[in-house]
Amino acid sequence: MRMHKRLRRHVEQCLGAESGSPPTLRRLLRRVEREYRRGDELRASLRHALGLLSGLLQSGREPRAAPAQPKAQPADTLFERSPFAALLCDGDRRVTSWNPAAEKLFGIPPADALGRELAMLVYPGNELDEARARTALRQALAAGDTQRLVVASGPAQAHEWTLAPLRDAVGAEIGTAGLVQERDATAERHALAWEAAGDVIWDWDLAADRLWLSPAWETFAGIARGGEGGPSEWLDRVHPDDRDAVNSALLAHLSGASPRFESEHRVRRADESFCWVLARGRATRDGAGKAVRLCGSMMDLAKPPPVADSIAPAAPSAADAVPRTDPDAPALDPVPIAAELPSDAEDLSRDASQPASPKDHTLGTDLHYALPRRQLRVEYLPVIALATGRIQGLEALLRWVHPTRGVIAPAQFMPFAEESGLIVPFGRWLLHEAARDFRRCVPFVDGLKLHVNLSPRELQEPGLVDDFEAVLAERGLSPQAVVLEIAESVLQDDQHGPRIAELHERGFGLSVDDFGIGACTLESLFRFPFDSLKIDRSLFGAAPQPQIIGSIVELARGATTQAIAEGVETAEQLAFLRELGCPAAQGFYLSPPVDAEGARALLARSDCLARTA
């Protein structure tokens, strides 16, 4: 770029033509010309040229020789080869220089970047908040403030900006310089999670034999510190009776014999009391497969799941006064199973605490995060033999504790889970949790069964049977201990026949759920040897239908299948079922759904469970 003709004419009018000027002035003018030619490449040179010319015009006489300026090549090289994205803007805050690192970071070539407004690069969106942020940035730069910003550029990425206004000798703004670097938001999120985790997070460096415990350990263990220490900080607090099991589980995982470490054991607090914990972790291995690091979490099993402040506290269950004890402990003293309830009380498995449609977009979006945010929990509804009053089975029920809406009834979110496919990971998670709890319940009652609902979408999953068997094997349970409940309506679809047959061949028990309200044919019903028929609760409404219920009971008895009545809520309904010879039932009148600890407490005194009136 050459000096503007009008500007050159003005210089010559003031100082004379270059041809007749003294040698010193001619050299100065040629120097100014060179600075102009380099102005496109480095703004500092252009600024220097303008400064020389300004001084020359103001003096009106031949200036003294200016001090030697440093060569521009090192600055050019630094700008071009910098690992940080660097840019220069003019007085209007539009990009004039854009280095290769900026091109790589933003994916914008220099030809497209030059002339872009700086604020639009920092906040490229069109949202109202971003428009306000662009205005605030312009005002801050105009005030001469250096700005340091961290701006999200993706789900797990952020850009860290440093922007400094450039001013001349008299303080006029002539441009802006900026540096940008990519910031790893993942590490920052991990650090925040470490600090804020409600459960204890632990990180064990096996090579150095050092263990780091998150700050939650201080509250959890009732001690004055967390932080770094030796493994003994945790392992020495394990109950003496549980140490062998913990060590065996650790060694099995570290040697590669088990896919992950998991242990339920007791840990001593500062007051010498013990609490039950669930510790889970997975090892990081080197190229040779040797475990070099073990990271995981520790959860207090006695602590209830977090719920929003707006959720009303649940009514106390029968297990509220029962402390967590060892599974091999003797049975507890018998107490009444449940307080007397109104006859119109609803079974919690069907309760609708919040009016919401499964098609509700917000509810559906929240449901996608329910499992990773640990908002799901499992409750157990006992199945009781009416002749003896003893528990013969536990039905695992999925519960969703929404952070603002409270407990969402299954009838409200299960249709969406089925439609979206979330029911598949939900089902795997429920079986995993229920199998863990059920393993601790088995010693109390011989032949106890775990009932788990199976949806049509789950039946379509190719690896369903193998996955279920793997979960049970990990918990030391056999398929014979599990009864899979399949809705009557599902039996009408022949596509599910081969999968149901496979489940039966592998040893799983089968039950027809909600029987009596569908159009299931006898042929489809008896195609597979079902272990039980669960009579739908609607048949016990305001106008009970003894003939239909009696026929179902006889039908089941003739097929060597047990009839189980669902939704027993009143003493009258219970007497009605006993009159018809129904062998088993479940419902709020007999026992409400309880958590794992409550289920163990009920089983410990199951010789006096069911009401007889």
Which pLDDT band holds residue 190 (cuts at 50, 70, 90)?
Answer: low
Among residues 503, 596, 613, the alpha carbon closest in space to that of 299 is found at 596
Q: How confident is the model at residue 228, as a pLDDT?
A: 61
- Tell me which of 13-17, 41-45, 566-570 is least confident: 41-45
Q: How confident is the model at residue 184, as a pLDDT?
A: 59
Q: Which residue has the higher pLDDT, 72 or 468?
A: 468
- All structural domains of the chain, each given as residue ranges with its CATH number in brackets, are 5-59 (no CATH), 82-188 (3.30.450.20), 197-300 (3.30.450.20), 380-399+424-608 (3.20.20.450)
Q: Which residue has the higher pLDDT, 238 or 540?
A: 238
Is residue 326 scored above 80 in pLDDT? no
Query: What average pLDDT does the structure give for the chain?
Result: 75
Is residue 531 scored above 80 in pLDDT? yes
| Report field, pTM of the whole predicted structure over 0.85 | no
Average pLDDT for residues 64-81, to the nearest whole number? 57
How many secondary structure helices (H) and strands (E) does the chain include? 22, 20
Pairing of strands 390-402, 449-454: parallel
Tell me the C-alpha distance between 212 and 221, whole Å.
14
Tell me the C-alpha distance between 536 and 515, whole Å.
5
Among residues 483, 487, 541, the alpha carbon closest in space to that of 514 is found at 487
| Residue for token pair 């039996």 | 491
- Tell me which of 239-248, 514-523, 544-553 is least confident: 514-523
Contacts of 368 (CB under 8 A, 6+ apart): 420, 422
Is residue 335 scored above 70 in pLDDT? no
Is residue 19 scored above 70 in pLDDT? no
Q: Which residue has the higher pLDDT, 299 or 85?
A: 85
Is residue 588 scored above 70 in pLDDT? yes
Q: How confident is the model at residue 105, as a pLDDT?
A: 87
Q: Which residue has the higher pLDDT, 2 or 170?
A: 170
Is residue 193 scored above 70 in pLDDT? no
Is residue 332 scored above 90 in pLDDT? no
Is residue 15 scored above 90 in pLDDT? no
Is residue 403 scored above 50 in pLDDT? yes
Average pLDDT for residues 261-286, to the nearest whole number? 86
User: In the chain, what percentage of residues exceed pLDDT 90?
Assistant: 15
Q: How confident is the model at residue 73, as a pLDDT?
A: 52
- 534 sits in which H/E element: strand 532-535
Q: How confident is the model at residue 452, as a pLDDT?
A: 96
Contacts of 607 (CB under 8 A, 6+ apart): 334, 389, 390
Tell me the C-alpha distance between 337 and 612, whole Å.
12
The pair of three-digit structure tokens given for residue 204, joined into one six-digit string: 């064990």
Which pLDDT band holds residue 4 (cuts at 50, 70, 90)?
Answer: low
Q: Which residue has the higher pLDDT, 527 or 598?
A: 598
Average pLDDT for residues 258-284, to the nearest whole number? 85
Alpha helix stretches (DSSP H) within 117-265: 118-122, 128-142, 185-196, 216-221, 232-235, 243-254
Q: How confident is the model at residue 337, as a pLDDT?
A: 33
pLDDT per position as a tens digit, 125-183:
777 777 888 888 888 888 777 888 888 776 556 788 889 888 888 878 888 888 888 76
pLDDT per position as a tens digit, 547-575:
788 888 888 887 788 999 998 888 888 88
Q: How confident is the model at residue 363, as a pLDDT?
A: 78
Q: How confident is the model at residue 612, as a pLDDT?
A: 42
356-565-528 Cα angle (round to 5): 95
pLDDT per position as a tens digit, 489-518:
787 777 888 899 899 999 999 998 888 776
Q: How confident is the model at residue 379, as a pLDDT?
A: 94
